[in-house]
Chains A and B, each alone.
Chain A
Amino acid sequence: MKVRNQNEEGEKIELQMTPMIDIVFQLLVFFIMTFKIVSQEGDFNIKMPLVAPAAGTPDDLQLPPMQVRLRAGTSGQLAAVTLNDKTFAIPGWEEALRLDIIGVIGDERGPGSIQETAEVELDCDYGLRYEHVIQAISAVSGYRDDAGNIVKLVEKVKFAPPRQAGE
């Protein structure tokens, strides 16, 4: 295809760049102004059916739910953490809780393993800050190994019946 870039008299045809540059800069300014760095979000799934499942033949492999108790201080900060009857020191409680969970469920994974059926019940004070609940769910749900991969621990997490304010 022959492309003509000169008119019949041999003069150069000049493109009007100004409108295009105007629009391009407007687009650029729009994208810069609306650009927002958003950190990734993820979900922790919990299943809370209103009616408890019907009692059937108890499964030998089914562990009773591990009770994690989170007590709040006066301003909602975390004051005490217990797993069943074991109390953890507040500095480093997440790691200690995670190690205890690993000790219970072991290394076996896959269908029929303890890890698959293990369940954690969170019993929290009313005034406890929600971020501590997420910390506890993170501690029992898994951890990241040295390669950055997520190793799953307990996948079934539920809440105990709510406590009243000041209870």
Chain B
Amino acid sequence: MRVTKQTSGGVLEGDLTPMIDMTFQLIAFFMVLINFTQSEQHEKIQLPDSELAKPPEGPVEFPITIHLTTEGNAIIGGNEIPIAALNPFLVKERQVLMSQNKLSKDATIVIRAHKEAQTGRVQELIQKCQDNTFEKFALRAKEDVGNNP
């Protein structure tokens, strides 16, 4: 391929303005879309789908998120433990609530169970929380985008 050399002695400068415009727009796009709410999620958990699953209109007051794996282990605060060993963690959550002059019935236990987990395990988890006087539960599901009939 033949490369034409500069005919005049001056330096040729490319116009960078469109590239910078586009790059800044891309950055703005990603900055707006980035979310930091992934702390509630866990890579081992695949939620079941539901066409009615919509984000709540307001934030849940005092949510306590517990994941449940297919093996039937609970994940709370990054610790994967058997359901039977949940008591110390739930007691700690109760103490946090008490320090804020709240009762355990004011908190909502958000259960993020894997879609292939056994229902009996979910009920065991609920029962364990009930033993620690928690009453309100929220079963989390993923929004079904409508591929299923």
- Complex alpha-carbon distance, A38 and B34, angstroms: 10
Contact of A46 with B143 at beta-carbon distance under 8 Å, contacts A125-B119, A134-B48, A141-B52 already known: no
Contact of A5 with B by CB under 8 A: no
- Complex alpha-carbon distance, A50 and B49, angstroms: 28
Contact of A130 with B34 at beta-carbon distance under 8 Å, contacts A43-B138, A44-B138, A150-B54 already known: no
Determine whether the beta carbon of B50 is less than 8 Å from that of A129. Answer: no
Determine whether the beta carbon of B139 is less than 8 Å from that of A35. Answer: no
Determine whether the beta carbon of B118 is less than 8 Å from that of A126. Answer: yes
Determine whether the beta carbon of A165 is less than 8 Å from that of B50. Answer: no
Q: Which of A1-58 contact B (CB under 8 A)?
A: 17, 20-21, 24-25, 27-28, 31-32, 34-36, 38-50
Contact of B133 with A by CB under 8 A: yes
Nearest residue (CB) in A for B68 is A130
A17: chain B residues at CB < 8 Å are 16, 20
Determine whether the beta carbon of B135 is less than 8 Å from that of A50. Answer: yes
The 4 A-B pairs with the shortest beta carbon distances in the complex, nearest first, are A126-B120, A31-B30, A42-B53, A43-B138
Binding site for A on B (CB under 8 A): 16, 20, 23-24, 26-27, 30-31, 33-35, 38, 41, 47-56, 60, 68, 108, 110, 113-120, 122-124, 126-127, 130-131, 133, 135-143, 145
Binding site for B on A (CB under 8 A): 17, 20-21, 24-25, 27-28, 31-32, 34-36, 38-50, 70, 72, 76, 124-135, 137-138, 141-144, 150, 159, 162-165
Q: List 30 A-B contacts (CB under 8 A).
A: A20-B20, A28-B26, A28-B27, A31-B30, A38-B35, A41-B141, A42-B52, A42-B141, A43-B56, A44-B52, A44-B140, A44-B141, A45-B138, A46-B137, A46-B139, A50-B130, A76-B118, A127-B118, A129-B115, A129-B117, A129-B118, A130-B114, A132-B119, A134-B139, A135-B50, A137-B50, A138-B52, A159-B126, A163-B120, A164-B120
